[in-house]
Every structure is written in C-alpha cells, then in structure tokens.
Structure 1
Amino acid sequence: MRSIYKIEILRGFESIGFKVSLVLGCGITLLQWITSVVPIALQQELYMNSDFAMCYPANVYNNWIGANTYLFSYLYFLLIPLLAALPYGSSFYSDIHHYFIQNICIRVEKKHYYIAKYLSVFLTGGITVVLPLIFNYMLTSALLPMIRPQAADYTSLIGIGSTFGDFFFKHPMQYVCVFAIIIFIAGGIYATYALIGTYYTENVFIVLSIPFIFVAFLNSIASLFGAPDWQSVFFLNPGYNGDRVLPIIVQTVGLAAISLYVFVVKGSKEDIC
C-alpha cells in the first residue's frame, strides 16, 4: 500500500511537466527581477551617495514579485492554475488511456490509488507554483536590503488596514512565509481539478487547461459583481491591498472539498479499472 504513494509522488516530481512548469514559472519571475529589481538596485549607489534623509531605501519586501499586482506579478498569479496542473495533472488521463490503471488496481486497493494520485497532484502543483516565487525572492534579496518596510514611507501597496497589514510591517519575512503556504495550498487544489476534468473530456490539452479555465471563470464572476477581493489573481498575491481572509478560506476549503469528493470519494467508485 505504501509503495503506491511513493510511486505516484516520484512519478510526479520526475515528470517532464514538472520541469517545464518550473522553467515557465521561473522565467516569468526572472523577467520581473530583470525589469523591475535590477534597475532599482543600480540606483542604490546614487541613494547612498545622496542626502536623502527623509527617503526610505528600496528593499526586498517592496520590490519582489509578490510586492505588487503589476505586469509580471499579475501574469504569474493569473497563470498559477495552469502552472500547477502542468506537472502531473494529466497523469490520471494518461493512466486510463495507456491502460496503466488496470495494472495498478490489480495490485492495490482502488481507493489507495485515487488517494495517492490526488496527493501527488496536490504536492507537485503546490510546490511548482511556490518555487519560482522563492527563486525571485532570493534573487531580489541578493540585490536589495532585507530591512523592514515602513508604513509611513508609502512605497508599499499594503497598508495597515490591509489583511495582515500590521503583521507585514512588523514581521515581513513571516508574512511572506504565510502567503507561500497559502499559495502552495491553493496551487495544489487547483491542480486537482485536472483530475476531475479527465472524466469529462478525451483531450489531454483540455484536461490541463481545466484548472485555468475554471479559476478564470470564478475570477470573471467576482469581477462582474465588482468584488476584486474574491479574485484569486489578487487575493493570493502577498502585495494586494484588500480584505481577503474570507475569500481565501471559502475558496480553498470549498474547492478542496469539491475536488476531494468528486475524485476520491465518488471517483474511486467509478468502474474505470
């Protein structure tokens, strides 16, 4: 029984999709670093040589990709569902169409295969979307000082009234860690919707696109009702200035419950093996 969990997790992290997704994700975060952070770092010497007593120096927490909602930051958080699904989201589809699932179900109980599949897709999806952010954070910290941001400086999009705003200005690194965990969980959950998509389409590209399409639909609904706090492209972004505790809880818990029920509970009873 334990071997199926190990096999599925190893298959996920050794997949080509995992490497492709990491390259794409790191590519986006690298572009943000080159176009936004490097120019600021080059001006640091000017700041040090000038008498800017009232000007707070540029720092990591106000300039890394998770500090704002602009071009590359918006693009990255928009593509999180797709990046999360690429590593292993189509594996259930492949197992069915290559008749691998029949061989597995002969050797292990079907429910353990479904749980292992869900867990491996969740883990690969979550890790894939967090690693490029860590990559960008490390690159930015190599050029800019890791000093605490100041609310009075008004160089951060986050205010004291923002969600965890006071925590951000007192403990910025812990704030980043908290959102890394939230993004990991959300990315993992989004990836599992590719598993559900396998039941409804015979096209592997559609299977991989379903998490992105589904989340884009939810974002469109939120935008239609004028509720940006409920759009994942914003509420997952550490740099977003808004009230997002309820959206984070409702969407992560709600989407996780749906995917677990549809794939693990209901899906494991389907006559696929």
Structure 2
Amino acid sequence: MDERDHKTQVEAPINTGATPTIVAFTFQFERALYRLFSSHTSSSRIGLETLDDVAELIYRDNGIVEARLEQDAHTVQAGAQPYQDSSRKLWHTLRVWLSHLDDLRVSYPKSKFYLVTNASVPKNAFVRLVSDAESDAEVIAAVSLLRKHAAKIVKNKKSEAKTEAEIVQKYGDDALKYLIRNLSLLDKGGTGSEVAPREAAIQLFHLQSKIAGKAEDIRPFLGRNSTSRVRCTPGRLPSSWPRPPDLLLLTRHSRFAHARSLRRS
C-alpha cells in the first residue's frame, strides 16, 4: 500500500470548494444534532470531527461498541452533487475508510459508513449503485464495478482522483466487500423525508401547535443552550488515532444533548 495508508491518524476531510467552510461545518453540526435527537438509544455518543465529519458510537449492553461514520458534503451549486463518479471527494473518502478498516473492525466490530449530502444523487450514479448492494451477489457485482471505475480513473492522467483510485483498487476483495456491505448513501439532507436536518431535528420535538410557529426562535438554542465543557475520556478512541486540540463531542442523555469541547491535556 501507499505510505500514506500507514499513517497513525485519520486524515482531514477534503475541502471540495463547493461551499464556504462555515456553511459546510454548519451542515455537519445540523447533521450531528439530527442524528442525536433521532437516536433510539440513550447509550450513544455523537462526535464532530472525531472519527469522521460526524461519528456515532453506540454502547451495547454486551460490551460491543458500534461505530457509524459519516462524511458530509454540502453544495449550493444547482444540479451538482459532490459524490460524482470520478470526484476526488468520493475516492479520497473510500481510501481513508479502507486505510483504517483493520483498526475499525477490531475496536468496533459493527461499523457503518455513510456518505451524506444535501444534493440529490441520480439513481444511475456509481456511488448509488455501489451503496445499494445488499445481497452477496450484489456486493460481488459492486466490487467488480468499483474496480472497473477505479481502473478507468487511473488511466486518466488528468483526473484529480487518479492517486486515490489507484490505492483503492489495490485493496483485496474482503476489505472492499466489507466496506460496500456497510456503506449507505444519504442524499437530500439524509433525513429520509427530504426535509433538511435542521428542520427535521425541530420536528422531532413534536412541538404543540401553539409554539410550532416559533421554530425559528428555538433553533439557535439547540446548540448554544446545551453545551458544557469537559475532558475527553481516555480510551474512547483507538490509541493510534488522533486527539485533535479542539473536538466537539455530543453525549446523549435521554432526549437531550450536552456538547462537550475536548481539549488535549
């Protein structure tokens, strides 16, 4: 493998230039809030810029910790979507996930991978065809499709995804099958209702009609009024993974969240 795949830390996500950084981060935060309030368990922790753009760790009673890693891509370009067949954003994400797959499978036996965007992704898009694979036969076909697309990109010397695709195609079928089997594409905001994450999070409160019209006034308080500062609990993440100087961790308590700013001691 390329020497970059032996790094002991997760690489920073690619800046596609599709939107200003503040807009992209806002989308991540809204996704984190939506995932937090839509969770069906009180034993989950939501992180921003920890294991991924948004990451959810679910602690089961049997001691197993499940990981759900999410890459978020927001665009304001009409008719555009960031996970196009030969986009560097897509192939970089696949490469980074694959490079940490061994550690993930040890620390989190059940890992899920989500590609999320506010845009609409066509039914015939490569990323949708791969993420829709469920049965053994479909997964095998998806691996073959992935290799064909990677080979095509590698032949194009002008492709920005050439290096990423070249590394991805070097991985064995077992790794590719595991990633594809646990890969999901969530477009149109990723809420399943085509409602933006921010609005969907508000709807989860089931506000009475008398105050439902005040949703715009309530939104700013979702993040601001539920924050407190604490230290990072050692051992939550694999020892080989980074502890960035300023992380934001959201911990679920019943239907409420406390945003925790983690700073290196």
TM-score by length of 2: 0.26
Structure with the higher helix share, 1 or 2 = 1
Structure with the higher strand share, 1 or 2 = 2
TM-score by length of 1: 0.26
